[in-house]
Structure 1
Amino acid sequence: MSMEHGSLPLQLIILFVLTLQISTQSPEISVPSDVQILSAVRNVDLTTQIVKVKTDFELKNGRNEELSSFVHAMSAEEAARLSWMSAYESGKESGKLRISRVRVKGASSDMVFHKIEFLDLLMSGSNIKLSVDYALTEYLVPSPKEILQSENQLVIFSGTANVLSAYPVMKENCVYKIGSSKPISFTEIAPSKHSQEKISYGPYENTKAYAKKPITIHYENNAPFLVASSVERIIEVSHWGGNIAVEENVEILHKGAKLKGSFSRLDFQMDRRGSRQPVIKNFKTILPAASNDIYYRDEIGNISTSNVYPRADRVEVELRPRFPLYGGWRTNYVLGYNVPSTSFLRHSGSNFAIKMKLMDRLYDNAVVEKLCVKIILPETSKNIKLVTPYSVKRLPDEVHKTYLDTFGRPVIVLEKENLINNHIQPFTLYYEFDRFSMLYEPLLIVTAFGALFLAAVILFRLDFSIAGKDEKEAASGHQKKE
């Protein structure tokens, strides 16, 4: 069994739940036996906290009929931490292929399968080249789990020396980039070798379908394991000011090896490892090019240790927390800015559409465990329709009330878990808004001031003095005597 990837009971529970979900939600298909993979080259990047996998396949259709799809396999452990997956045919990188999770008849429960549909049918006897990319989050396991301030961070990767496949593979190679010239240890399955910062397995030939050659790699990885455990992104649209206000409440945590012992500021400043320390000193956030009125604060107040660098196509904000983040340490902050609505809002008559990114680039190789997006539309907006680039969970709409609101503003609430920078894609929100509704608040103010002014005039014209009343009565009596 691979080196510690969590306790055995926890693994069994995860696998059972995952298998149950797949069996109840995914369709079952059969994999044709006369289809084979001529070659498979797998490159795995292990240099950051995200495991990035890219596999190039050459597939041959040996059937007497056309083939419409390819079945991709991965381990159940990988599927449990899968964040992003995409596929495309060679030479057609812009044409992303449709991917859906399926079950394969007769396959082992410790594998998970995805059906990838071709752009065009593959004729009998023809070959096709395609690439499959996917990313895993929180998959690497720190070992040891606690380190001293002066020690480097070591992690364990558990995987396979071969490419998992539902088809027989004629020839295959696997290359793992670890970013370290001296791995602590790795499983040797001939032919395999370590060269510079890479560990290579293969070539292997005539590998049977569903074959698995488990390996573990123990190596040094001092990359920041910075995870945003919670991000609440609030987007408020204002037609009056022609402005869109964005505010993000972010809670971040260093999920690498936990710091053992006390922290020494002197040792931190004297450390000669520089950027290779397993600690987060600062990070860079990317905002839209039109961003202005940027602010960065936390519960204490404004944080002045930040720098803003305007670029031609973006604004870079270098954020520096109040203290360096070691393993197990966390902090939170608020980052906000304004952008002109002309950059993101389009309209035709009373029909409007706002197109913005679901999230900004928080930092390089970002991992967001939970994202909540709240979009506040103008009051009286109706016929709201949301289009997202990938599936999200839409929660019940809320109502936000602020100054001069009568019924409150509709708030669209979205949630998504386990995101990386590949998820930084735009959504489009369509809605109807009557421009005459913009006159409601000014008319309300004018009416209020008019009523106040009229009341003042009436009050000033009324005479409530006692002396004035007595004088009138005396004058009236004098006239009667005459």
Structure 2
Amino acid sequence: MRFLHALPAALLAAAAAALAFDPSAYENTQVQRTYELGGAATSVQTVYTVRALKENPGDYELVLASPENDVAGGSDYWEVVQGRKVWESLTVQSRSDGQKTVTIPLDTTATGGPITFTLSQILVHQSYPLPASIGQDDEQFLMFESNATMVESLYSTKKETIKYRSPSKKIISHSPAPEKYVQVGGNASKKSGGTLTLGPYTSVPRTVSLSGAGSLVREPGFNMSAIRIHYPYEEPVKTIEKLTRLAEVSHWGDNLNVEDHIRLVNTGAHLKGQFSRIQYQMARFRPTFPAQIIRNIIYPLPPNSHSAYYYDVIGNISTSNFRPSHPTRGGPALLELRPRYPILGGWMDEFVVGWDMKLGDWLKSVKGHAEHKVLRVPFMTALPGVVVDEAELVITLPEGARNVNVTVPFPVDTIEQETHKTYLDSIGRPRITIKKRMCVEKHEQDVYVTYTYPFRAQFQKVFTVGIATATFFAALALAKRVDVRISKVPQQLQVVG
């Protein structure tokens, strides 16, 4: 008993969950997984058809990753969909080894009835260029690599199929597929154009189990082989190493200013040799331009954005085109950017994009409580297929805002609150900083900030400016009345002769 009391509470909870888990309560009648291979991001969809084998089987435990996977990288976005509805508020079990499982409350009123749901994931940086260096006009190839071939599950599976789809409709080569659970006379893999199909596999036992400590362990006797797929990629591999979004609220100006500081890197195949400007200009007149070169960027902005600007470390860049929202149909605004130089593999560019928006479109007052404000700010701007390694959102509220609360629609690394002082501030402005690693398109969601902004706070800046101006003129008037001369010049006596 002394030993049990000495155990951490989390370890006791994990052990209790492992003892309560019943791997024979469910069976996967069919599992279909599809990989959409890409550049920095790979989309994965897994369709589960599940059948309960017992009455009152309890919750279904869904495995998100393989025990061999690196927890620090890999997938950071997932969602479970049943029909057209996204499952909200699912319980995520963080295992002692860092791996995660998701508890899904399935509706199993009728034992034996099939239940279908879909797990959508986005894997980041699972592909790398091979060869690592190519010529300026050469074709680019990527290698997708994963530590797990088959779908990880805590339950047995009757039939399982895995597909890999190349974006260029072509697969150069792939590693051998496992053959243990393939039907007699069947093929373990089949390649057709840009699609590689593994299986179908039948009567697959569970691949992992829960240990007494609550961690995921490989099931004895089950060997998971790795998979490697070599395929062409005819687009630049864009990665934003650092994205810092600054959002500043102005009640007096009825304006929300947003400014993005971006460090963009082409993480595709590096350039072999020297860059040739002549060769680059000549390629513009050929039917196929080298796809691995970043020439321009289409940056979508929220609807009704205006006063957009774009500059880098040298200064303002005029090679851009801003397309505002349609006056009647609305829709997003577009900012077409063209860097000062083409960004080849291994090259980077740092620039700033900013714009203004009407505050009334993003800030609302609680009905019946005009002082209570609800502000929504987009966490980031998503670019198709682009992974953001480090994202940071900094929201600066007006001076006098109080009782600040933040609601984020997804897990983040840190949320910090501080006071920021700038010119003509008396007590400073509340500032919120939100940080998250490994962000993808799906993280383009709104962050909600609630705060109290009293009516008198609207005049705090006016009072500060008035007091500062009055103090300045009073000091100036006082300075004029002070005699700062070192000594007085004596008057000369006139002699009358």
CA contact (8 A) 1:35 1:63 kept: yes
Q: Using the TM superposition, give the Cα deviation of residue 203 of structure 1 relative to its aligned residue in structure 2, in angstroms.
A: 1.6
**What CA distance in whole angstroms lies between the structure 2 residues aligned with 1:230 and 1:333?**
11
Q: Does 1:248 align with 2:260?
A: yes
2:130 pairs with one of 140, 143, 146 = 143
Q: Does 1:224 align with 2:236?
A: yes
Q: Using the TM superposition, give the Cα deviation of residue 359 of structure 1 relative to its aligned residue in structure 2, in angstroms.
A: 1.1
CA contact (8 A) 1:368 1:417 kept: yes
2:227 pairs with one of 208, 215, 222 = 215
> Match for residue 341 of structure 1?
359
**What CA distance in whole angstroms lies between the structure 1 residues aligned with 2:474 and 2:95?**
76
Structure 1 range deviating more: 126-135 or 112-121? 112-121
> Match for residue 121 of structure 2?
134
For residues 86-235 of structure 1, the aligned pairs below 5 Å read 86-89=79-82, 91-96=83-88, 98-103=90-95, 112-118=99-105, 120-121=107-108, 123-159=110-146, 160-189=148-177, 190-210=187-207, 211=222, 212-235=224-247
> Match for residue 43 of structure 1?
34
**Structure 1 pair 97–409 and aligned structure 2 pair: CA distance change class (3 A):** closer
Q: Using the TM superposition, give the Cα deviation of residue 116 of structure 1 relative to its aligned residue in structure 2, in angstroms.
A: 3.5
**What CA distance in whole angstroms lies between the structure 1 residues aligned with 2:157 and 2:423?**
66
Structure 1 range deviating more: 193-202 or 293-302? 193-202
Structure 1 range deviating more: 272-281 or 50-59? 272-281
1:328 pairs with one of 339, 346, 352 = 346
Q: Using the TM superposition, give the Cα deviation of residue 408 of structure 1 relative to its aligned residue in structure 2, in angstroms.
A: 1.4
**What CA distance in whole angstroms lies between the structure 2 residues aligned with 1:215 and 1:463?**
88
Q: Secondary structure at the match of 2:425?
A: coil
Q: Using the TM superposition, give the Cα deviation of residue 243 of structure 1 relative to its aligned residue in structure 2, in angstroms.
A: 0.8
**Structure 1 pair 142–310 and aligned structure 2 pair: CA distance change class (3 A):** same
CA deviation profile, 1:426-448 (whole Å, cap 9, x unmatched): 11101111121222332344445
Q: Secondary structure at the match of 1:274?
A: coil
> Match for residue 292 of structure 2?
278
Q: Using the TM superposition, give the Cα deviation of residue 46 of structure 1 relative to its aligned residue in structure 2, in angstroms.
A: 0.4
**What CA distance in whole angstroms lies between the structure 2 residues aligned with 1:123 and 1:394?**
43
Amino acid in the other structure paired with 1:284 = I
For residues 395-410 of structure 1, the aligned pairs below 5 Å read 395-410=415-430
**What CA distance in whole angstroms lies between the structure 2 residues aligned with 1:263 and 1:25?**
59
CA contact (8 A) 2:56 2:108 kept: no
**What CA distance in whole angstroms lies between the structure 2 residues aligned with 1:457 and 1:72?**
76
**What CA distance in whole angstroms lies between the structure 2 residues aligned with 1:63 and 1:265?**
69
**What CA distance in whole angstroms lies between the structure 1 residues aligned with 2:452 and 2:381?**
26
> Match for residue 183 of structure 2?
none
**What CA distance in whole angstroms lies between the structure 2 residues aligned with 1:83 and 1:151?**
33
**Structure 1 pair 357–459 and aligned structure 2 pair: CA distance change class (3 A):** closer
Q: Using the TM superposition, give the Cα deviation of residue 313 of structure 1 relative to its aligned residue in structure 2, in angstroms.
A: 1.5
CA deviation profile, 1:3-34 (whole Å, cap 9, x unmatched): xxxxxxxxxxxxxxxxxxx9899775335224
2:306 pairs with one of 284, 289, 292 = 292
Amino acid in the other structure paired with 1:350 = E
CA contact (8 A) 1:243 1:340 kept: yes
**Structure 1 pair 452–58 and aligned structure 2 pair: CA distance change class (3 A):** closer
Q: Using the TM superposition, give the Cα deviation of residue 162 of structure 1 relative to its aligned residue in structure 2, in angstroms.
A: 3.2
Q: Does 1:302 align with 2:293?
A: no
What is the root-mean-square deviation of aligned Cα atoms in Å? 3.1
CA contact (8 A) 1:154 1:218 kept: yes
Structure 1 range deviating more: 114-123 or 54-63? 114-123
**What CA distance in whole angstroms lies between the structure 2 residues aligned with 1:315 and 1:182?**
35
CA deviation profile, 1:384-417 (whole Å, cap 9, x unmatched): 1111101223354233222321121111111111
Amino acid in the other structure paired with 1:66 = P
> Match for residue 435 of structure 1?
455
**Structure 1 pair 185–349 and aligned structure 2 pair: CA distance change class (3 A):** same
CA deviation profile, 1:288-307 (whole Å, cap 9, x unmatched): 11211110001100111111
> Match for residue 390 of structure 1?
410
> Match for residue 425 of structure 1?
445
**Structure 1 pair 294–25 and aligned structure 2 pair: CA distance change class (3 A):** farther
Q: Using the TM superposition, give the Cα deviation of residue 373 of structure 1 relative to its aligned residue in structure 2, in angstroms.
A: 1.1
Q: Using the TM superposition, give the Cα deviation of residue 103 of structure 1 relative to its aligned residue in structure 2, in angstroms.
A: 4.2
Q: Using the TM superposition, give the Cα deviation of residue 161 of structure 1 relative to its aligned residue in structure 2, in angstroms.
A: 4.6
**Structure 1 pair 254–118 and aligned structure 2 pair: CA distance change class (3 A):** same
**Structure 1 pair 439–57 and aligned structure 2 pair: CA distance change class (3 A):** same
More helix by share: 1
CA contact (8 A) 1:227 1:253 kept: yes
Amino acid in the other structure paired with 1:40 = V
1:359 pairs with one of 344, 368, 380 = 380
Q: Using the TM superposition, give the Cα deviation of residue 276 of structure 1 relative to its aligned residue in structure 2, in angstroms.
A: 5.4
> Match for residue 69 of structure 1?
60
> Match for residue 81 of structure 1?
74
CA contact (8 A) 1:352 1:430 kept: yes
Q: Using the TM superposition, give the Cα deviation of residue 49 of structure 1 relative to its aligned residue in structure 2, in angstroms.
A: 2.6
> Match for residue 394 of structure 2?
374
Gaps (5+ residues) in structure 1?
Answer: 1-21, 465-469, 471-482
What is the count of residue pairs matched by the alignment?
Answer: 440
**What CA distance in whole angstroms lies between the structure 2 residues aligned with 1:317 and 1:291?**
10
Q: Using the TM superposition, give the Cα deviation of residue 378 of structure 1 relative to its aligned residue in structure 2, in angstroms.
A: 1.0
Amino acid in the other structure paired with 2:161 = N
**What CA distance in whole angstroms lies between the structure 2 residues aligned with 1:275 and 1:83?**
34
Instruction: Give TM-score, length-normalised by structure 2.
Output: 0.81
**Structure 1 pair 462–151 and aligned structure 2 pair: CA distance change class (3 A):** closer
Amino acid in the other structure paired with 1:50 = A
